[in-house]
């Protein structure tokens, strides 16, 4: 099954453009995982790295959760996959992670993020975190950057797994 992906518009308002690019990159990560079995999704890039496609999905679930729910919405919710005693659990524990749970969590966090973005009055809506003031605009740009960087990793992982290349 191939994940549908819509190209962002060539002309749109700032908020619509940011949302479209973020969804484009979310769909790109899903496409990089399409058609792979559990073992392939768990395959590590190169020792000692714990980077895997399933780890990227878990990491992006955490990142969506952190910036949109804990940051923008101010929800007091714990991380899903890591903690003080396991700071890289999103990646390190992907080798035994449940694929269905990871993808369901990621999709849920993406939906929660879309709702949080839609509910914010403007891109200038802000919050305090880590000693700084962040805006929705910053979060959306950061998330685009985060996905773009990790989608580059996903490109290399997927090519290594089965030779598939492309956007």
Residue 154 lies in a domain: yes
| DSSP 8-state assignment for residue 65 | I
Residue 9 lies in a domain: no
Residue 6 lies in a domain: no
Helix residue spans in 43-135 (DSSP H) = 53-64, 89-92, 99-119
Q: Which CATH number belongs to the domain containing residue 22 in this structure?
A: 1.20.120.450
The answer, yes or no, to whether residue 167 has pLDDT greater than 80, is: no
Q: Which domain holds residue 80?
A: 14-162
Give the pLDDT of residue 5: 92
Q: Are 16 and 22 in contact (CB under 8 A)?
A: no
pLDDT tens for residues 97-119? 999 999 999 999 999 999 999 99
Residue 52 lies in a domain: yes
**Which residue is listed with tokens 């058609």?**
35
Give the pLDDT of residue 105: 98
Give the pLDDT of residue 1: 58
Residue 2 lies in a domain: no
The residues that bridge with 86 in the sheet, in sequence order, are 83
Residue 50 lies in a domain: yes
The domain tally of the chain equals 1
pLDDT tens for residues 124-164? 999 999 899 999 999 999 999 999 999 999 999 999 999 99
Residue 99 lies in a domain: yes
Average pLDDT over the chain reads: 96
Whole-model pTM: value is 0.96
Residue 1 lies in a domain: no
Q: What is the mean pLDDT of residues 69-73?
A: 97
């Amino acid at each position: 099954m191939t994940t549908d992906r819509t190209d962002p518009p060539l002309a749109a308002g700032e908020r619509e453009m940011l949302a479209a690019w973020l969804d484009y990159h979310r769909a790109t990560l899903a496409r990089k995982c399409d058609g792979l079995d559990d073992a392939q999704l768990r395959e590590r890039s190169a020792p000692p790295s714990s980077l895997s496609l399933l780890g990227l999905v878990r990491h992006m679930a955490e990142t969506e959760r952190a910036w949109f729910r804990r940051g923008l919405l101010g929800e007091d919710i714990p991380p899903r996959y890591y903690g003080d005693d396991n700071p890289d659990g999103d990646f390190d524990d992907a080798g035994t992670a449940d694929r269905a749970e990871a993808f369901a969590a990621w999709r849920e966090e993406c939906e929660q993020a879309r709702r949080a973005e839609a509910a914010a009055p403007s891109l200038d809506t802000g919050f305090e975190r880590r000693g700084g003031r962040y805006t929705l605009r910053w979060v959306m740009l950061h998330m685009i950057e985060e996905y773009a960087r990790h989608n580059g990793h996903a490109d290399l992982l997927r090519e290594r797994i089965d030779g598939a290349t492309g956007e």
